[in-house]
């Protein structure tokens, strides 16, 4: 199980405030992804700046930092076959107006600035982001009985 792909998910402040955290977590779980880390946190400015460092200097950077620190978020690490691609498919396009119907953003969001969920976009990004939010001893390894029906 150690080589199973993992990704970070952030259920953003707008989703928490709109009481959609459970719905979003459920969608990930129903896909077959396994939660190996999960917590409710308040992201502070230094952590937000590290998370969004790649966007520093861009016109929308300050807005990203301000938004992600505006209210609690749920951070999660999920794993499963093609976890990054599977998660991003469930999330939908960054712009909710063009997101596929049935995706989280396509179903529940209206604008890019408040699009409910973040998911890592690559394995390298996932590793970096997971390390920002979780200590290694906070991530669990376990097998579910249903796993053999999901991924063989």
Active site members = 118
% helix, strand, coil for the chain, step of 5: 45, 15, 40
Kindly write down the DSSP assignment for every residue of 105-126, as one continuous string. Answer: HHHH--BTTB-SEEE-SSHHHH
Query: How many Å apart are CA 149 and CA 24, to the nearest integer?
Result: 22
Q: Long-range contacts made by residues 62-65, C-beta under 8 angstroms, separation at least 24?
A: 63/113
Query: How many Å apart are CA 8 and CA 134, to the nearest integer?
Result: 10
Query: How many Å apart are CA 92 and CA 100, to the nearest integer?
Result: 6
């Amino acid at each position: 199980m150690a080589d199973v792909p993992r990704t970070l998910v952030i259920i953003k402040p707008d989703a928490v405030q709109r009481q959609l955290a459970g719905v979003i977590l459920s969608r990930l779980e129903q896909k077959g992804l396994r939660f190996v880390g999960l917590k409710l946190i308040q992201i502070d400015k230094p952590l937000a700046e590290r998370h969004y460092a790649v966007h520093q200097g861009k016109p929308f950077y300050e807005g990203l930092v301000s938004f992600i620190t505006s209210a609690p978020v749920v951070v999660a690490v999920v794993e499963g076959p093609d976890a990054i691609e599977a998660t991003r498919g469930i999330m939908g396009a960054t712009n909710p107006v063009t997101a596929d119907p049935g995706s989280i953003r396509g179903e529940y969001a209206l604008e890019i600035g408040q699009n409910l969920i973040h998911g890592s976009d690559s394995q390298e990004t996932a590793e970096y982001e997971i390390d920002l939010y979780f200590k290694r001893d906070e991530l669990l390894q376990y097998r579910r009985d249903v796993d053999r029906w999901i991924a063989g």
